[in-house]
Amino acid sequence: MAKHTSNIIQIALWLFVMSAGILLGGSIFEGVVLTPLWAGALPESVIQWQYGSIQTKFFAIATPLYALFSVALTIASRWMPQQQRRWAFVAGLCGIFVVVVTFLFFVPILQKTQATRGAGLSGEEITRLVKQFTAWHWGRWAVIIGSWVAGLRALSLSSS
């Protein structure tokens, strides 16, 4: 493989690892600081929430970049040295999975609850949706951490 191609592949890996770390940090902040504020005393905390989806400004940039670098890493893993290939592929696939689940599951719940203060929903519906969000958020963290660690492992093998 040409040195130029190898450099591009390693840059894709670095960009993935950095974006995964940034997304993980933002996700932890969201879960530890923001979510307890709007989901702490259901359903009243959602109904009285006045700030909309304040985390959207961060995640509207971080999530698409993470998605882009996850796809790039999944593709680039094909040309990586054998010892890196599996780790990079797993990291990329986990990243793609996180983004798909985020847009299909988590974002719709936030739009129905936090963004609109639960408009049109009963207190029971708000509570059910927010409890789903908070319960499954732990699983999303686990997959993001797994993708980041797999990316770090692939990165550590690049010097071998």
The residue ranges of every structural domain in the chain are 3-159
Predicted pLDDT of residue 5: 73
Residue whose structure tokens are 């054998």 = 82
Average pLDDT, the chain: 95
Burial grade of 78 (CB within 10 A; 0-12, 13-18, 19 or more): exposed
* Residues in Cβ contact with 21 at an 8 Å cutoff, skipping those fewer than 6 apart: 148
Query: Would you mind telling me the total number of residues written for the chain in this entry?
Result: 160
pLDDT band (50, 70, 90) for residue 131: very high
CB atoms within 10 A of CB 85: 16
- DSSP secondary structure code for residue 103 in this structure: I
Q: Region 85-93: what's the mean pLDDT?
A: 98
Q: Region 75-87: what's the mean pLDDT?
A: 95
Judge whether residue 2 has pLDDT over 70: no
Predicted pLDDT of residue 4: 63
pLDDT band (50, 70, 90) for residue 6: confident
Q: Region 82-94: what's the mean pLDDT?
A: 96
Cβ density class 6-19: b for 16+ within 10 Å, e for less: eeebbebbebbbeb
Amino acid at 48: Q
Going from the C-alpha of 117 to that of each of 18, 112, 123, the distances in angstroms are 33, 8, 11
Predicted pLDDT of residue 114: 96
Q: How far apart are CA 39 and CA 97, in angstroms?
A: 25
Amino acid at 143: V
Residue whose structure tokens are 């609850």 = 113
